[in-house]
Every structure is written in C-alpha cells, then in structure tokens.
Structure 1
Amino acid sequence: MRQIRMKTIKTKRRVQPKTTRSNEIVVVYFVFMSINVCADIYFNRFNKLCVTNN
C-alpha cells in the first residue's frame, strides 16, 4: 500500500502520467466491479442450491 501511494504522489507532480494513472484506476475499478458482480452471481446460485437441497 505504501509503495503504491508513493508512486501516485510522484506521478501526480507531473502532468503526463496523470492521464495514464487515471486510466489505470478506471480499468482496475472496472475489473474489480466485474469480479464483485461475478462473485455475487456465483454466491447467489450457490445459496439457492443450498436452500433447495435443505
């Protein structure tokens, strides 16, 4: 966590890396959200199977 924060602080001082950093954040956020959605769907199916079996 500290290394990432140090890198972001260094890149914020420059103008060009700001755009690439923001794009990376958007991509990471999109991937994180998609993983959460997939996990929610998977757990919902798993819970439904458990409820039907019980």
Structure 2
Amino acid sequence: MAALAWLLIPLLAAVGAAIWGSWAGRHRTTGDVSELAGYARFREAMEKEHSS
C-alpha cells in the first residue's frame, strides 16, 4: 500500500503540471484590440502636438 502511495505522488504532480501548463498557455486575446487602438490614438496625439 505504501508503494502505491509513492506512485500516486508523481502521478498527481504530472496531472497538476498538465493542468497548469494548459492554463498558462491559453490564448488571451481579450482587450488587445482596444489597447492597440488607444496606443494609436496616443501616437497621433503626440505627433500633432510635436508638429505644431
């Protein structure tokens, strides 16, 4: 029974690592479009102020 417990520890660690890896590697694309648009507006405003 003790040997089974020692075999379950690495198995549970591998399952936990797989779950964490899938969570860490997920695609996070929400908000990028609005942030890029805001950055473009910021650059345009800085160019207008600099050229005047």
Shorter-normalised TM-score: what interval? 0.5 to 0.7
**Could you say which residue in structure 1 is the equivalent of 2:9?**
25
Equivalenced residue count is 34
User: More helix per residue: 1 or 2?
Assistant: 1
Gaps of 5+ in 1: 1-16
Gaps of 5+ in 2: 35-52
Structure number with larger C-alpha Rg: 2
Q: Could you list the runs of 4 or more consecutive aligned residues of structure 1 that deviate by over 4 angstroms after TM superposition?
A: none
State the TM-score, normalizing by the size of structure 2: 0.55
The residue type paired with residue 52 of structure 1 is D
What value does the CA root-mean-square deviation take over the aligned residues?
Answer: 1.2
The residue type paired with residue 35 of structure 1 is I
Q: Give the percent of matched residue pairs that are identical in Structure 1 and Structure 2.
A: 9
State the TM-score, normalizing by the size of structure 1: 0.53
**Could you say which residue in structure 2 is the equivalent of 1:39?**
23
